[in-house]
Amino acid sequence: MPFEFGIKDIIDIFLVALILYYLYRLMKESRSLNIFIGVMVFVIVWLFVSQVLEMRLLGAILDKLVSVGVIAMIVLFQEEIRKFLYTLGAHQRIRRFARLFTSSKRDKDMEATRVTIMPIVMACMSMSKGKIGALIVIERGAPLDDIVDTGDVIDANINQRLIENIFFKNSPLHDGAMIISNKRITAAGCILPVSHNRDIPKELGLRHRAAMGICQESDAIAVVVSEETGRISVAVKGQFHLRLSAEELESILTREID
């Protein structure tokens, strides 16, 4: 039977390469790259032994290791798998498709979003002028209950004066992050995971690394006011938007918050 190579095979190879590429990026960000490379080497050896060399005994042993290893991989990489599924569900095209079923609420949501955003923007501008450090995390699709549990529950309406008081230098909650969920200030003084991404500019401090860390583990938006420079930044979808004006900050939040 002649070897046939068609369009399905091209699509198949492309999809496998795409999956491997995203897995590589995910493992690199989580500092599990060496484990990922080790797993890929094991899979290649297994395929070579069982499919090319057709060594039945060694192939059978490796088959058993693979079947058990799948469960071990799920346990070992549960955080990475969770992040991958969050990223997939938060993809822009999937979110647009979901909005087709909630279009009737769109106008009301836009007005509510503006009421949520403006106090944040005004508070950030005020803190920027006074060089008061702040870190505000806005929850979207992925729940941040585990992060909320690390701080003090507030459960209050979003208010400019309240935000500024929480991040005032003498406030006991000013060092942690504020979590905004369901258009309310849920908690403050929260501890965030810190990103170890080497691509983050060295001039950015711990607040920025914490902002990037929460964005890498969820679909949240993180707003940072630098205590050293007073500059405003936003971390979203694994990227920084630096040195923002009030108009730019409002535009990003309006675009990204549903």
Average pLDDT, stretch 159-170? 92
Residue 155 C-beta-side C-alpha neighbours within 13 Å: 2
Residues forming beta bridges with residue 16, ordered by sequence position: none
Count of Cβ atoms closer than 10 Å to residue 106 Cβ = 10
Instruction: Convert the pLDDT of each residue in 91-144 to its tens digit.
Output: 554 455 455 455 445 555 555 567 789 999 999 999 999 999 999 999 987 788
| Amino acid making up residue 206 | L
Q: CA 75, CA 68: separation in Å to the nearest integer? A: 11
**Domains in the chain: ranges and CATH:** 7-76 (no CATH), 105-256 (3.40.1700.10)
Cα separation of 49 and 41, whole Å?
A: 12
Q: Is the pLDDT of residue 30 over 60?
A: no
Tell me the CA distances in angstroms from 120 to 124, 168, 221, one per residue in order: 6, 15, 12
Distance of alpha carbon 82 from alpha carbon 103, whole angstroms: 28
d(CA 211, CA 52): 48
Give the residue, 182 or 43, on which the prediction is more confident.
182
Statement: the pTM of the whole predicted model exceeds 0.75: no
CA 36 to chain centre: 20
**Sheet containing 134-138, strands listed edge to edge, beginning at the edge strand earlier in sequence:** 152-157, 184-190, 177-181, 134-138, 221-225, 232-236, 239-241
Q: CA 23 to CA 35: how far, in whole Å? A: 12
Distance CA 220, CA 145 (A): 12
Tell me the range of 20-29, 111-120, 201-210 where mean pLDDT is highest: 201-210
